[in-house]
Amino acid sequence: MTNKRYFLAAGIVALSMMATGALAQNLQSVSNYSKMHSNLLAKQNRIQDQIKLEEAQRYAADLYEEVEPEPDIYTEGWESDRVNPYKESQVPNSKVINVTGYVMPVKGNYVTSHYGYRPAFGRSHKGVDLRAAMGDTVRATFSGRVRLTKYERGGFGFYVIVRHENGLETVYGHLSRFLVQPNQYVKAGQPIALSGNTGRSTGPHLHFETRFMGYAINPEAIFDFENRVTHTDKYTFNKSNYTQARNYSPGARYASVRHHSRSAKSSDKVSSRSTGKHRSAARSTYKVRKGDNLGKIAARSGMSVAQLKRINGIKGNKVQAGKVLRTR
């Protein structure tokens, strides 16, 4: 009995001590856990701030850095060493091409030889020749990637071909030195070569071509070299008119107006000769309008006032509106 009481008392004391110890442990851990929790929150805040900073930096980079185009435009015929690596079946009949963001290939604006057939050489000239001195800087016309740098003794000499983001390829020929390498990405206006007199050339100049999927477009259909601008922001390639130049300069428009005016006058003369009798009959009388006087009517009819008065029997210098006068 005594032993049972002893063990019961001991058990109660042990339970009491355990409860007191647990309570003491719980009370002691509150401040520790609070401190740990605060430290953890502080670390999380720093991580979130870092994430936000990195996102902002990536956004700024995407916004302001030059982003290269998707690589699919550099697949067709990229490895070919030919100027035209395309097949006819691949070329659409029509394509709208964005030609903004351009830079003229050389500093000059003088075309020394235009696009088209050259009787003296017995072949077609598939670009334009631009005036350039030996060693002038040649620049990429649009942003893109260099497809080819090559030497051709009987033709372009040293030449560069750049494939651009808008689908065009530009060819720069008769160079004296390359400043770029194949597969190198270049921005519009970046130096790519120095002009020269290599290949089949009669003097220092730049041979410049604009091609769409192998079709050699007349560069003067895209560029107004005289004013160093593009004619429009978009050029529509068409298989039926890609060889034709465009010229929207004031001088060209004036020349066009004069041409049409001369054509119209010539047509009037022919028509006048072929229908002279009908015209004479139609112009043989004139109905006086309000505000007319004898001087106006005579001048319009190509005669003097005295003649007009004589054939119409007019005595004074006044004429009544509505009266029909003979003018022949």
Which secondary-structure segment (H or E) carries 42? helix 2-64
Least confident of 48-62, 131-145, 295-309: 48-62
The pLDDT assigned to 70 comes to 44
Q: What is the pLDDT of residues 30-78, one digit of tens each?
A: 566 666 666 665 555 555 555 565 665 555 444 434 344 444 556 566 6
pLDDT of residue 312: 84
Query: Any idea how long the chain is?
Result: 328
pLDDT computed for residue 135 by the predictor: 96
Which of 28-37, 242-251, 271-280, 318-327 has the weakest average pLDDT?
Answer: 271-280
- What is the average pLDDT across 237-263? 67
Closest CA to 150 of 141, 164, 140, 160: 160
If you average pLDDT over residues 104-126, what whole number do you get? 87
Query: For 161-192, what is each residue's pLDDT tens digit?
Result: 999 999 999 999 999 999 999 999 999 999 99
Give pLDDT, residue 279. 43
What confidence score (pLDDT) does residue 174 get? 95
The residues near 68 (Cβ < 8 Å, ≥ 6 apart) are 145, 185
- Contact at 8 Å (CB) between 260 and 123? no
Spell out the residues 6+ positions from residue 195 whose beta carbon is closer than 8 angstroms to its own. Answer: 106, 132, 133, 134, 135, 136, 137, 138, 174, 175, 176, 204, 205, 206
Looking at residue 234, its pLDDT comes to: 95
- Give the DSSP letter string of 6-34: HHHHHHHHHHHHHHHHHHHHHHHHHHHHH
Least confident interval from 145-154, 213-222, 235-244, 267-276:
267-276
Which of 43-47, 203-207, 294-298 holds the top average pLDDT? Answer: 203-207
